[in-house]
Amino acid sequence: MTELLTSASAPGKAILLGEHAVVYGKPALAIPVSQLRVEVSIESFRCPANEIWIDSPVIRLYKNVKDLPIDNPLRMAVDLTIAECQNRQFPGLMIRINSALPIGGGMGSGAAVSCALIRALSGYLDGSSLSLETINRLAFEVEKIHHGNPSGVDNTVITYEQPIYFRRGARMEKVTVKEPIHLVIADTGINSATSSMVGGVRKRYEQNKEGYQRIFDSIETLVNNARKAIESGDISLLAEMMDENHRLLQSLEVSSFSLDRLVKTARSSGALAAKLIGAGGGGNMIALCTADTTRQVSQALNSIGAVRVFSFTLAGEASVT
């Protein structure tokens, strides 16, 4: 028998504009997707003191943490949390991880697991969770294993669970949503390793720095205009910026036939704009809709074989409903 000791959760995320360019010092606009969450529970477990087991059905893992490689993301999240906490003596524990987020779908599944795990484990060890700043810092260290050269945007938007304007190395800025923004996300069902996609862009960047820098500069302009659009309630301008961002991501060679097909379908069925989200290659796309077109866009995406489609609204004062 196990006993629930504490639990925590973390949302998914979507980058509205700026993926890939954010790795090169450009800004990005990111939002939490609070309907899709990772849930982590800490339970008592019949094993020796100071031992921790992990049960994560989504990746078919049931193992003692100490038997995982030292650079395994889950082990690192556990080790970093224990090192940060004052109480390092504890009975045998089980960490159970349940996730509604697609792996390799550009929605921050790895960062969400890290944030929820760090929050839950520190909450048990210290009696209260670490500060958001500390959780974000530790989760970023784990992100380096997942992605090699992460921007930090995933762990930041997930930790703080609010829309942000993010630039690597700069202080996060909250983005205020003036008018409701109706969004639809559709999954290609194709997993894509972020580290591989980021590495591919890096390789092509090294071969054509001038050309790629022009693309990154253009994306920066789009991001800044999109932020103004969100904060002023100019949905038409936001749509224009999102569509152009997808075109530039295509020029970075990170889109795919499956993503482009979903984007085209969303636009032709009434979406104001659509683009890939995340690293690309597979994963998800996001469509900007109106309250009246959300249902028909969702139905069209389902009809052409999207693996999963869901809609949500980013409302005023940056809440997600």
pLDDT of residue 30: 96
pLDDT of residue 319: 38
Q: What is the CATH number of domain 4-166?
A: 3.30.230.10
d(CA 119, CA 85): 11
| % the chain with pLDDT above 90 | 85
pLDDT of residue 103: 81
Task: With a cut of 70, say whether residue 143 has pLDDT above it.
Answer: yes
DSSP string across 86-136? S------EEEEEEE-SPTTSSS-HHHHHHHHHHHHHHHHHHSSPPPHHHHH
pLDDT of residue 197: 92
d(CA 54, CA 56): 6
Residue for token pair 């045998």: 92
d(CA 261, CA 188): 9
84-93, 178-187, 256-265: least confidently modelled range: 84-93
Locate CATH 3.30.230.10 in the chain: 4-166
The answer to whether the beta carbons of residues 295 and 310 sit under 8 Å apart is no
Residue 318 pLDDT class (50, 70, 90 cuts): very low
More confident residue, 142 or 278: 142
DSSP string across 287-312? EEE-TTTHHHHHHHHHHTT-SEEEEE
pLDDT of residue 248: 98
Among residues 298, 309, 310, 311, the alpha carbon closest in space to that of 270 is found at 298
154 a catalytic residue: yes
Task: With a cut of 90, say whether residue 222 has pLDDT above it.
Answer: yes
| Assigned CATH topology for domain 176-318 | Alpha-Beta Plaits (3.30.70)
Locate CATH 3.30.70.890 in the chain: 176-318
| % the chain with pLDDT above 70 | 98
Task: With a cut of 80, say whether residue 147 has pLDDT above it.
Answer: no
The 3-state DSSP class for residue 229 equals helix
pLDDT of residue 45: 96
pLDDT of residue 151: 80
> If you average pLDDT over residues 220-233, what whole number do you get?
98
User: Would you state the structure tokens that stand for residue 187, as one six-digit string?
Assistant: 């999954």
CA distances (Å), 38 to each of 1, 107, 150, 222, 255, in order?
Answer: 23, 11, 20, 31, 27
What distance, in Å, lies between the first and last C-alpha atoms of the chain?
A: 37
Task: With a cut of 70, say whether residue 1 has pLDDT above it.
Answer: no
Task: Tell me the per-residue pLDDT of 186-212, one tens digit each, with 9 for 90 and over.
Answer: 999 998 888 889 899 999 999 999 999
Residue 102 pLDDT class (50, 70, 90 cuts): confident
Catalytic site residue from 67, 71, 79, 154: 154
> If you average pLDDT over residues 18-40, what whole number do you get?
95
Q: Which H or E run includes 4?
A: strand 4-17
